[in-house]
Structure 1
Amino acid sequence: MSNAGPLGRLARLTYRNRGRTVLLWLAALMLAAGLSAAFGGEFSADYSAPGSDSKAAQDLLQEKFPAQAGEVVDVVVRVDGGVTTARGDVQALLDELKVVPHVAGVDDPFSVPGGISPDGGTLVAHLRLDVTNPNDMPHADTERLLDIAKGADRPGLDVALGGQTVNLAEQGEIGSEGIGLLAAAVILLLTFGSVVAAGLPILTAVAGLAVSSTLTGLVLRFVDAPDWSTSLATMMGIGIGIDYVLLMVTRFREWRAAGLEPEAATVATLDTAGRAVMVAGSTVVVSMLGLFAMGLSFMRGAAVVTIIGVFVVMAASATLFPALLGYLGRHVDRLRLPLGRRRPVEVAVGGHVEPGRGWLAWSRLVQRHRVVAALAGVAILLALAAPFLGVRYGYPDAGNDRAETSTRQAYDMQAAAFGAGANGPLVLAAELARPGDASALDGLRAAVAATPGVALVTAPRLNPAGDTAVLTVLPATGPQDAQTEDLVHRLRDETIPSAVDDSAATVRVGGVTATAIDSNENVARRIPLLIGGVVLLSMLLLLASFRSVAVAVKAAAMNLLSVAAAYGVVALVLQGGWAGQLIGIDTETPLPSFVPVLMFAVLFGLSMDYEVFLVSRMREAWTRTRDNGRAITEGLAGTGRVITAAAAIMIAVFAAFVPSSNLVLKMIGIGMAAAILVDATVVRMLLVPAVMHLLGRANWWMPAWLGRLLPELHVEGQPERHLPVPPEPAPEAELAGAGSR
């Protein structure tokens, strides 16, 4: 017992002080809730690209023309007999809307140029809010705007509201934690056949989730994070929390079958499987830290919220789980379900657990056909990744919303009446050389209007100080059209510089569409930093963990392949065909560039989890037998059931977010569910063992000089330390044995 490592000693401490440990977790939960209630912040997300032209335009307007810097809600009205026939109704509607809190002003569509469509049947009025971030608009106030619009809607007079604030309100609550937990409970029951064994991962994960979710409010006081970051952290917290404890419950039952008492089995579990859990959690943290390389505040916020959730889950696995075993360890197989005969755990001579016959047969099959298995695995992954070659980057807009939403109806009405570009106006923010000197604006407006791809340019509006002006440009094409992106670059690179060359005016191109274009380009430039940093750090961690160059390089290459396969699945559903319709995507939808970045950070970490689970058991067998083929076969057979169950839980958790109306969560959910399915089947159960069989003893090679530089983590633990000592034979037995000889 004295030979246990730090995790084993911590397990013994919490096991013996289980009551205090549980009380400390309850106290942590109450403290986190109290601090969040007293000092918690609000969700906020800035999707603009730092240093971009659109960001400069937004900053200029916020500083010198705040009336034009706030969020805008479009009020779209279509009247069968022409909008002038319902002028009184429209005015009454606008009067009612402008008294709602946070509405700073309302444009008069009957006097503003471009407010009424050429055919006279549709008008657009702009409600200007006093918030510059759509997340800052209370949903209750946006709901009030929607209720007023619905009240004015009648046969022959259609009213719809558009804008990001309306879109957020119509999405409603995001997250399906309950569905994920229910699915996880069913899978655990099928895996263990015991209510107690299945309940331990659920209890630990829920406790960690409760503490980390209450801490989120406090985190928001110091970092800006989007509202969907809590759902991402919840996905990760539930998934890895249950997976980690699933691994340890499985190992605990093995130690009990080997003859250890509950306390000794708990210590041995944390000293072996617990090490793998800590390394796996560290790879997830390393992957999420890669998001800091993107230089985007909303990604940093999402990473911080998720990392805190991972840390809390790791802490619960190392402390709360051993404490719960103090109460339930002796009864881990109690309350069994009538699920048929289950093979008892078999312990071989030496203390290692004999793998199940089915998994052993599969492992030997892969060993015999390793070349075919390796080629088949790579072919499947490349086939799944192929649709990503045709992916279209961009930001989904209201045209991708559900048909029954107000934002989608407003989008369609504007596009039909004013042209596709009406849904993606560009904003020109001009800072004049001298207050009141607007001489350059007429030439600027004429030059922009003559630019190919421009449908309309409004007259400039000056701020009260007369030193800043705003012009609105309607492109001839929609916000997702590649020609609109070309127009933005043409205005910045050619039209505007030549138009203001003789004046000292500074003109920036901004607006939602320009911001989306700049953000996509900014993320694309930084993706190599993310991939390179995360892969390098993860490889160093695996080198220290498994003392093998081949394991680290192979893990990085195969994880990249599984991530590419997930990207391909996402690209396929975004095409809006049969695959997209299965998850509620009816039209072709662009992929925001930050979604692959988030997916990469999350999936690379989770893929490393399964790599650690699998290879740690292989290395354990290797250090015991020095037989590469046997180590791979035993490692695969010994972890196949655990990895399959863990993957099924993660798939269920992520798939629970696919029905979400939030497109970002929907994309992440389907991509990550597909990736985990591919990773746990094609990669871990087929490709990894096949390649390791091909590499032979080279799997465990590392240069001596590198071994001296890196710390030795012993991620596989030293199971032999915890094996029960066989009793000394009685003297009579010895004599009898001697006589027989």
Structure 2
Amino acid sequence: MAELLYRLGRTASGHARTFVALWLVVLVAAGAAYAVGAGTLKDSFSIPGTPTQEVTDQLATDLPDLAGGTGTVVLSTDDGSAFTQEQEDAISEVVTEAADIEGVEATVDPFTTQQQRAEQEQQLADGQEQVVDGRAQIEDGQAQLDDARAELEAGQEQLDAAREQAEAAGQAEAAAPQLDEQQAQIDAGLDALDEQQDTLDSSAEELDAAAAETEQGAALVDLASGIQTVSDDGDAAVATVLFTDTQLDITQETKDAVIDAFTEGIAAVDGVSVDFGSDIAQEVPELIGPGEVIGLVVAAIVLVIMLGTFIGAGLPLVTALVGVGIGAMGALSLSSVVDMSSVTPVLGVMLGLAVGIDYALFIVNRHRHQLKQGYAVRESIALANGTSGNAVVFAGTTVIIALIALNITGIPFLGLMGSVGAFSVLIAVLVAVTLTPALLSLIGERILSRKERAGVAALAEASAAAEAAGDPVAEGTESGAPHHKAVRPMSTWAAVGRVVLGVAALLVVAIPSLDLRINLPDGSTEAPDSTAYQAYTTVADEFGAGVNGPLLVVADVPDPVAEDDVVAQQVAIGEQIAAQDDVVGVAPAAVSDDGTVFAFQVVPAEGPTSESTEELVHTLRDLSPLDGGVELGVAGAASGNIDISDKLSDALPLYLSVVVGLSLIILILVFRSIFVPVVATLGFILSYFAALGGVVAIYQWGWLSSVFGVDNPGPVLNFLPTILVGILFGLAMDYQLFLGSGMREAYAHGAPARVAVAQGLRAGRSVVTAAAIIMISVFGGFIFSDSAMIRPIGFALAFGVLVDAFLVRMLIVPALMHLVGDGAWWIPKWLDKILPDVDVEGAKLERKHPHAVTAGEPESEKV
């Protein structure tokens, strides 16, 4: 690979304009592909096979009206007073008109809904009063019937006594007509009473049925008492937009049309403001914002300090921007045919900028050192591309493999993030080893400052004079390799101190990671001046935080429920749901035509990302089966986010194990050692959990919240821990390769183990320091993004690079290698024999292409 890159560098430097033109063509082609194929990015996530997705799929079949997505529109008065009738009428008109928007299934008018609920409550109250009155009337009627029956029964007794007397007196036959007539009257009276009793019993049964229906209705109203569409003081209302498509499939055009309709309509209503929930108004983050520009400026300053010239500092920035442009537009060109989250291209930009600048820096830095040793420009370019470029390719490959490995999690959107990130890194590597040599050729010796160029000229004159006098051509090895000054290894006590302090610091910083909670951000984490944040806080203050994340609970009944028994079944299921902790309200939403599927809206006590809501989702599912074999399922945006977080948590250990195993294999191949790969991998694990600890402390606990713009701490972005593994691993391996390979080379050339550690650290620390600062600057620029999802990613990567580069790679690992001495490079002989010889730094290439400066050597012959 080193020889191939050497030849590629020489070709690119010899045909510089052609290579520059080719990359410009690729950039233009990517732009054209973007213009043709770019589609709408998604602001939500899904994972097939989750419990929420299964319930959503069931709704599409059994209750299609509930399968579509929803949007929240929050209306409030500017002065905090109750809505006037005129304002209510105007708002209702806007809500009704919004239902005609293409892609909108229906809209729910908050005032009509509240009025209907009030009327229903009044009807129930009237019904209950009628039941009481009816029971009183029935009791009165029963009392009258009982009295009449008692009179007839008394008359019967008197008649019976009269018959006995007549029979005793021998007058039975004479008295019979009169007694029979009386008996007939009594019998007729009893028959009439029986008919009246039947009528009264029938009325009582009807009244009992009405009472039961009223009680069931009252029970449903009581269950739903915590669900309102207009606040108690009448100054806020929530309108709901029901979309035709599922939440993930709602087009941005439809959302924009809804926002425009309400914004324009409410603007004409005096004294009323409108805000939109994050389910409608969550904006796609900008690829490059002010914070990112500041990060690039800091990176440029570091480059100027490191490289000494503005033209040298500008070259890595130019190549990185070219790579980012191609990578970002290339990825976005597929967004019309692939469901791509809004975070995916931003992640690609992050990585493309950071590694693009660093990879070009490594090659440029090597080239500058070689020029100062007297190398000809084109020869130096080729050699730098074959040595540092080879390390860049190897380091980039580790990042690419780690990112592509995200596909093994089985989570589509995460795998796509990894693939886009890997594509961005691949472009950065290709640009570094082709465009960078071409631009270096065009720049020539101007990559050095005037002072440095004067030094090179003096060196050439000295070499020419020395050659004329028959002295050695130049100091250093005959191959032209740089001459290493003698260095002293660190003391043993210093090494012990570094290890103890470094590890202790990382462990302390990692402590908050033990309390890690993950979820997707809700409106509370958006910028305070955003409409999503205003909508969330208004709803939380006026209606309760749980209204921001209602759950949709679906009950499967084993046998069809008759129409007359539907309400009773709803009450029975609803009461069991409401009996759970942290349930504020339960309202029936729909029943399937065959009476086997019942849906309920359930409002939790706290917001969609709270621990109590997460526990409630799991509790409701664990209730199955209810009495009668009823199975419960839970859906809704809050439930979906919880399921995604659970799936990501389950996938993280597997992915982390794969990456750790990959780390050991790669490092054993590179360093032909057991100890170095083990401590380097353990160091990565430490830096990973330290980075997570920093994220938890700031974004979940709220430490230093004012510094980092965290207005409402909450759970950590659910896919951040997983994506951080892949990216931080790749970057950590970059620094380990650039530092460790120098140590390995020095040891292989005969330096004592501890001296080799010091030599490798001294040779590589300046460029690794600059590269790490650039990485931190680029990632740090995203910390102040407008997107609540981008900010913690930027911090995690910036902080992870900080602790890994400066604490792990340049403090702890060298100190541990010093302590074990020669043991750091021990490897079993059988393993050493079967391992391929991976020459990352291109030492063989330097021996194959020796060079010494001679006076008067033509430029054409120096290539």
Q: TM-score, normalised by structure 1?
A: 0.89
Q: CA deviation at 1:63?
A: 4.4
Distance 1:118 1:107 in 2: 18
Aligned partners of 2:674, 2:711: CA distance in 1, in Å? 46
How big is the shift at 1:378? 0.8
CA distance in 2, matches of 1:661, 1:111: 37
Higher alpha-carbon deviation: 172-181 or 45-54: 172-181
- State the alpha-carbon separation in 2 of the partners of residues 427 and 347 from structure 1: 78
CA displacement, residues 482-523 of structure 1 (integer Å, 9 cap, x when unaligned): 2222222221111x521451x6xx542111111122122111
Name the CA distance, whole Å, in 1 between partners of 2:42 and 2:92: 33
Question: How far apart are residue 582 of structure 1 and its match?
Answer: 0.4
Q: Which residue of 1 aligns with 2:390?
A: 275
Query: Kindly tell me: are residues 135 and 266 of structure 1, through their superposed partners in 2, closer, same or farther at Cα, counting changes over 3 Å?
Result: farther
- Report the Cα distance in structure 2 between the residues aligned to 1:249 and 1:472, rounded to whole angstroms: 62
Distance 1:366 1:420 in 2: 59
Write the distance in 2 (CA, Å) between the matches of 1:674 and 1:561: 13
Offset, 1:403? 2.7
Over 3 Å counting, the alpha-carbon distance change for 1:558 and 1:488 in structure 2 is same
Instruction: Look up the equivalent residue of 1:539 and give its one-letter code.
Output: L
For residue 634 of structure 2, give the secondary structure of its aligned residue in structure 1: strand
For the 8 Å contact 1:289–1:303, the answer to whether it is kept is yes
1:399 pairs with 2:521: no
Q: Distance in 2 between matches of 1:152 and 1:404?
A: 22
**One-letter code of the match for 2:67?**
A
Q: Secondary structure, in 3 states, of the residue corresponding to 1:353?
A: coil
Match of 1:141 among 250, 254, 257: 257
Distance 1:34 1:284, change over 3 A: same
Q: Is the 8 A contact 2:555 2:599 kept in 1?
A: yes
Distance in 2, matches of 1:120 and 1:356, equals 80
CA pair 366-44 structure 1, distance change in 2 beyond 3 A: farther
**Where in structure 2 are the equivalents of 1:151-550 lying within 5 Å?**
151=267, 154-155=270-271, 157-168=272-283, 175=289, 177-220=292-335, 223-334=338-449, 348-349=476-477, 351-353=480-482, 364-365=489-490, 369-430=494-555, 439=566, 440-462=569-591, 469-494=598-623, 496-499=624-627, 501=629, 507-550=632-675
Whole-Å Cα distance in 2 between the matches of residues 173 and 100 of structure 1?
Answer: 30
Change (3 A) 1:577 1:53: closer
Offset at residue 45 of structure 1 (A): 6.4
Alpha-carbon deviation of 1:33? 2.8
Q: Which runs of 5+ in 1 are unaligned?
A: 339-343, 729-741
The count of residues paired between Structure 1 and Structure 2 equals 712
1:329–1:467 distance in 2 versus 1, CA, 3 Å: farther
Q: What displacement does 1:395 show?
A: 3.1
CA distance in 1: counterparts of 2:56 and 2:81, whole angstroms? 39
Q: Secondary structure at the match of 1:460?
A: strand
- How far does the alpha carbon of each residue in 1:567-598 deviate from its partner, in whole angstroms, 9 at most, with x for none? 11111212464512101102222113311111
In terms of mean alpha carbon deviation, does 177-186 or 643-652 score higher?
A: 177-186
Instruction: Note the 1:17-96 alignment, pairs <5 A.
Output: 17-44=15-42, 47-79=45-77, 80-83=80-83, 85=85, 86-96=87-97
CA contact (8 A) 1:366 1:686 kept: no
The CA distance in 1 between the partners of 2:543 and 2:365, in whole Å, is 63
Query: Identity over the aligned pairs, expressed in percent?
Result: 31
Residue pair 1:619, 1:716 contacting (<8 A) in 2 also: no
For 2:528 and 2:534, how far apart are their aligned partners in 1? 7
Tell whether 2:816 aligns with 1:688: no
- What letter matches 1:677 in structure 2? L
- 1:125 maps to a residue whose letter is A
Q: Give the SS at the match of 1:404.
A: coil
Aligned mates of 2:820, 2:639 — CA distance in 1: 51
User: What amino acid maps onto 1:470 in structure 2?
Assistant: A
User: Do 2:45 and 2:341's aligned partners in 1 also have CA atoms closer than 8 Å?
Assistant: no
Q: 1:325 to 1:405 in 2, by over 3 A?
A: closer
1:737 maps to what in 2?
A: none
Q: In structure 2, what is the Cα distance between the partners aligned to 1:305 and 1:224?
A: 13
Instruction: State the SS of the aligned residue for 1:168.
Output: coil
- Which amino acid in 2 is paired with 1:620? E
RMSD over aligned Cα atoms: 3.1
CA distance in 1, matches of 2:315, 2:323: 12
In structure 2, which of residues 681, 684, 695 is the aligned counterpart of residue 559 of structure 1?
A: 684
Equivalent-residue separation in structure 1 for 2:450 and 2:53 (angstroms): 60
- Native 8 Å contact 1:219 1:305 kept in 2: no
In 2, distance between residues paired with 1:589 and 1:318? Answer: 43
Amino acid at match of 1:151: A
- Give the TM-score taking structure 2 as reference length: 0.77
- Please say if residues 550 and 602 of structure 2, whose CA atoms lie closer than 8 Å, have aligned partners that are also in contact: yes
Tell me, yes or no, if structure 1 residue 620 matches structure 2 residue 749: no
**Distance (Å, rounded) in 1 between the aligned partners of 2:681 and 2:306:** 30
| Residues in 1 aligned to 2:515 and 2:491: alpha-carbon distance in whole angstroms | 34
Write the distance in 1 (CA, Å) between the matches of 2:562 and 2:276. 37
**Residue 107 of structure 1 aligns with which residue?**
108
1: CA distance between counterparts of 2:611 and 2:257?
Answer: 35
Does the 8 A contact of 1:213 with 1:309 survive in 2? yes
Structure 1 residues 146, 522: closer, same or farther in 2, change over 3 A?
A: same
Secondary structure of the equivalent of 1:474? strand
Kept in 2, the 8 Å contact 1:276–1:616? The answer is no
Q: Distance in 1 between matches of 2:97 and 2:293?
A: 39
